[in-house]
Amino acid sequence: MTFNPSLSSALGSKLSQLRRKRGLTLDGLAELSLVSRAAISALEQGNGNPRVQTLWNLADALGVNFSTLLDDTTETIVSDEDGIRVRLLERQTSPKMVEVFLMELPPRGARYAKAHPRDVREHIVVLAGEMRAGPSEAPSLLRSGQSISFAADTPHLYAGGESPARAIVTVVYPEPSYASGPDRDLAWPGNAGEWDAVSALLARAAIEVQNGLEVNVTTFGPPVPEAKRAHRELAKVVEGLFPSPVIRRFVTCELGPSVVSLYRPAQMSHLGAYPPTFSSNLARRCWGYAESALEPASASRVEEWSKLSLQPGPIIETSLLAELCTRAGCATVPYGVGNSLHEKTVRADASQRFFEARIDVDAYESYELVHPAYARQTLAVAAQLPAETEQAGPRILDIGTGPGLPLAMLLELRPDIRAVAVDPSEVAFGHLSRRFSGNGNVEIIHGSVTELGEPEKPFDCAVSIGASHHLDTAAFLCAIRDQLKSGARLIVADEMIAPYNTLEQRQCRLLRHHLWYVLDTLVSLPSDADSADVCTAERLATVLPLASAFAHKGNHDAAMRLTRDVYEEVSELKRPVVPSTPLAVFSRFHLLELQALIAGLDYEVEQKTHPGRFIALANACGLDLAHHQRIYATDGDGHLDGGTHLFVFEAR
């Protein structure tokens, strides 16, 4: 097979650009495309001789058209070693994407093509010779001047006869569609009576959603005013509706004026009885703050919490206080968050499958404290730690410590513990080394728990906060069991999605789960904030409620498309290194959450399971469940549905 050498470098640059824009590592693209990592690496460096099918596989895995990978140049000719040649002749981008190729087949030459994405069609006109073409199961024999049209979202072939054949192959892609139509499509109200009717219908939608439908999308058609006015008038109507504790309403004009009504279960429940292992005043105060999150708060109390959260103090305390204020409708960023310079650290080998290849670890360190229940889950973990012995505090293994914020909070609550922190990320290791420099109670190991040898002295307890889904879950659990004494505890706090048994269900559950963390913390920025910060917050607030609605309706394709597109759009904005206003920390966190969501959709680095399966895997690895609680609910009513969960296991 040969490939025009003058275009090899351009192809390599385009492939690398598309892969990085998609957020995939070389390993991730290799899995999705079934093209080897070595072959992709060679292509990106301008080397290698790709077969036609190789390029099609890469284009499909990247979610782009074949011509996009070839950079739309009609000079590009790809020819296989068996003599099959493909040349791009023309590309049209609207109203539908259409690509036109000239295909040349040698005598008895054949190309077996994989299925294209859903609803792609092909039209073939034979110019010379004869060929069999069409769906692999039932191809048609075509001679010069004959044609065929067929659905190309199934395997298909092109096979030449006794003489060379030439054909025009036209590939027609479907227009992006959001197939989940509205639940109600109304004409834009023209008078007070019609607005009253709209209010009544939205109130009825809330009842339907709270009683089991989970989502309602009401859209408005002509004559529609311009978007800002439409948004303003709809928002005024929504503000006048009776508030419901289980309904969240969003106004968006992204696909035309719409009101999205979503079912939102109660996020938090009581953590339980005050733990006997807590003895400090700090622990007592923090437990009280956690309980206060379940109760209505007066304006004066919120003001007091806000003042305290903005003063220097323990991380666990300022974070719990800030979350109390945010939940009460006064968005607050804890002391010190967003004030330091943050620039993404890029590894020399970022093409490999490390956490930082998909997630910005420095941003994680800078903004994760505004993640819902981030401090609350750490408080819950601390409550389950073993008691101090006569000799010393318990010796714990902390797996997937990351930059170290949860461990720092654990040490604030339980300064007696002695911790061995293990994390494979080089960037996280740097943060850990700086944060715990000089702390004799913390030992840091740069590596994975699966690489640890047999311990000289098994651990009293192991903890993992927010890390179990970054590894092969069974390998993660078995490796931890090997480090523990019999009867020792493993305490895990992590995000889980609602139960699923198909890939489509998993993608929808994943979208619903992650998007609630964002929708629960949407904030408006002041007008004097940096324009890129403002635009980021506004675009996410406009698009993501719709993405969540599509995910609730089971339309994962539309939900994924909206999410990926808005993430790529706002990623291009030139935001200041330091957020221009404290509230911009929330949209920085939202970008971090979208990184995790998109990595999860690709099943790379982020590999979430559901609570029931996690418990079963732990049991298979020699760990028996002693306690379980959903700390923060995202998706579903049940205790084994989506959200942030706490698990306590005992080693057999």
Residues 223 and 301 grouped into a single domain: no
3-state SS, one letter per residue, for 164-209: CEEEEEEEECCCCCCCCCCCEEEECCCCHHHHHHHHHHHHHHHHHH
Q: What is the mean pLDDT of residues 24-42?
A: 87
CATH code, 542: 1.20.1270
Say which residues have a Cβ less than 8 Å from residue 281's Cβ, sequence separation at least 6: none
Q: Does residue 598 have a pLDDT over 80?
A: yes
Higher pLDDT, 13 or 157: 157
Here the contacts of 521-525 (C-beta below 8 Å, separation 24 or greater) are 521/326, 521/331, 521/370, 521/372, 521/586, 521/589, 521/590, 522/586, 522/590, 523/331, 523/583, 523/586, 523/587, 524/583, 525/581, 525/583, 525/584, 525/587
Q: How many CA atoms lie within 13 A of 640 on its CB side?
A: 11
Shared-domain flag, residues 434 and 314: yes
Q: Is residue 340 over pLDDT 70?
A: no
Instruction: Please say whether the dihedral angle defined by the alpha carbons of residues 25, 28, 29 and 34, taken in this order, is positive or negative.
Output: positive
Question: What is the per-residue pLDDT for 60?
Answer: 82
Q: Is residue 617 part of a domain?
A: no
Question: What type of residue is 507?
Answer: Q
pLDDT tens for each residue of 349-373: 444 555 555 656 667 678 999 999 9
Q: Which residue type does 64 have?
A: V
Alpha-carbon distance values, 208 to 200, 404, 571 (Å): 12, 44, 37
Count Cβ atoms within 10 A of the Cβ of residue 614 and give its class: 0-12 exposed, 13-18 middle, 19 or more buried.
buried
Residues 331 and 524: their CA atoms lie apart, in Å, by 9
- Check pLDDT > 70 for residue 64: yes
How far is Cα 630 from Cα 622, in angstroms, rounded to an integer? 22
Given a cut of 90, is residue 165 above it in pLDDT?
yes
The reply to whether 621 falls in a domain is: no
- Residue 618 domain-assigned? no
Residue 153 lies in a domain: yes
The predicted-structure confidence for 389-424, as pLDDT tens digits, reads as follows 767 889 999 999 999 999 999 999 999 999 999 999
Q: What does the pLDDT read at residue 12? A: 85
| Residue 29 burial (10 A CB sphere; 0-12, 13-18, 19+) | buried
Q: Is residue 276 part of a domain?
A: no
Alpha helices in 240-337 (DSSP H): 281-292, 299-309, 315-327
3-state secondary structure of 85: strand
Query: Token pair of 597, please?
Result: 């969501």
Full residue range of the structural domain in which residue 59 is found: 1-75
Question: Model confidence at 50, in pLDDT bands (50, 70, 90)?
Answer: confident
Answer yes or no: is pLDDT of 137 > 60: yes
Mean pLDDT across 78-83? 71
Would the CA dihedral through 386, 448, 501, 496 be positive or negative? Answer: positive
Helix (H, G, I), strand (E, B) or coil at 395: strand
What single DSSP character describes residue 144?
A: T
Helix (H, G, I), strand (E, B) or coil at 626: strand
Bridge partner residues of 489 (DSSP): 461, 650
Q: DSSP state, 498?
A: P
Tell me the three state secondary structure of residue 333: coil
**H helices within 86-191, ranges in order?**
none
Residue 137 located in a structural domain: yes
pLDDT band of residue 348 (cuts 50, 70, 90) is very low
| Residues 6+ away with beta carbon under 8 Å from 211 | none
Pairing assessment for the beta strands 418-423 and 395-399 based on DSSP bridges? parallel
pLDDT at 24: 85
Domain final residue, candidates 17, 40, 75: 75
- 435's CB contacts (< 8 A; 6+ apart) are 403, 404, 408
Point out the domain boundary residue: 148, 175, 202: 175
Calpha distance 188→161 (Å, rounded): 60
Within a domain: 274: no
Instruction: For 200-247, write each residue's pLDDT tens digit.
Output: 999 999 999 999 999 999 999 988 899 999 999 999 999 999 999 999
Q: For residues 114 and 197, state if they share a domain.
A: no
In terms of domains, do 316 and 342 share one? yes
Average pLDDT of span 529-557: 96
Most confident among 117-121, 356-360, 552-556 (mean pLDDT): 552-556
Tell me the sheet residues that pair with 443. Answer: 420
Instruction: Report the sign of the C-alpha dihedral through residues 604, 605, 611, 612, in that order.
Output: positive
- Cβ distance 69 to 14 under 8 Å? yes
Report residue 528's pLDDT band, with 50, 70 and 90 as the boundaries.
very high
Q: Are residue 14 and residue 34 in the same domain, yes or no?
A: yes
Cα distance between residue 385 and residue 353, in whole Å: 32
What's the angle, vertex CA 250, arms to CA 249 and CA 251, rounded to 5? 130
- Whether residue 34 sits in one domain with residue 55: yes
Cα angle value 21/22/26 (rounded, 5°): 100
DSSP 372-434: TTHHHHHHHHHHTSPPP-SS-SPEEEEES-TTSHHHHHHHHH-TT-EEEEEE--HHHHHHHHH
If asked whether residues 259 and 301 sit together in one domain, one would say no
Give the model confidence (pLDDT) of 462-503 as tens digits: 999 999 888 899 999 999 999 999 999 999 999 999 999 999
How many domains are contained in the chain? Answer: 5
**d(C-alpha 608, C-alpha 604), whole Å:** 10
| CATH label of the domain that carries residue 56 | 1.10.260.40
CATH of the domain at 130: 2.60.120.10
- What's the rounded mean pLDDT across residues 238-266? 95
Looking at the structure, tell me whether residues 68 and 97 fall in a common domain.
no
**In the chain, pLDDT over 70 holds for what percent of residues?**
93
Q: How far is residue 264's CA from residue 250's CA, in Å, rounded to a whole number?
A: 12
Q: How far apart are CA 359 and CA 354, in angstroms?
A: 9
Q: Which residues of 217-249 are buried (b: 16+ CB within 10 A; e: fewer)?
A: bbbbeeeeeeeeebbebbeebbeebeebeebbb
Q: How many Cα atoms sit within 13 Å of 16 on the Cβ side?
A: 15
Does residue 271 sit within a domain?
no
What's the CA gap between 541 and 533, in Å, rounded? Answer: 12
Tokens of residue 337, six digits:
């968050």
- The count of C-alpha atoms lying within 13 angstroms of the C-alpha of 448, restricted to the half-sphere facing its C-beta, is 14
Q: 3-class DSSP state for residue 89? A: strand
Task: Using the Cα atoms of residue 343, residue 348, residue 353 and residue 354 in order, give the sign of their dihedral.
Answer: negative
Distance CA 619, CA 599 (A): 27
Mean pLDDT, the chain, integer: 90
Give Cα separations from 71 to 29, 76, 113, 173, 474 (angstroms): 19, 9, 21, 17, 42
Please enumerate in sequence order all residues whose Cβ is within 8 A of that of 566, keeping only pairs 6 or more positions apart, or say none. Answer: 539, 540, 543, 544, 547
Which of 42, 75, 108 is a domain's end point?
A: 75
User: Cα separation of 232 and 82, whole Å?
Assistant: 63
Q: Is the same domain home to 438 and 533?
A: no
65 and 118 in a single domain? The answer is no
CA distance linking residue 89 with residue 127, whole number of Å: 15
- Cα separation, 370 vs 587, in Å, equals 10
Residue whose pair of structure tokens reads 């993640």 in the numeric block: 371
Under DSSP, the state recorded for 421 is E
| CA 487/CA 383 separation, integer angstroms | 18
Helix H or strand E segment including 631: strand 623-633
475 lies in the same domain as 419: yes
Residues written for the chain: 652
Structure tokens at 635: 């998706």
Which of 111 and 178 is assigned the larger pLDDT?
Answer: 111
User: What CATH number should be reported for the domain holding residue 286?
Assistant: 3.40.50.150
Choose the weakest-confidence range: 56-65, 164-173, 542-551, 565-574.
56-65
Both 345 and 404 in one domain: the answer is: yes
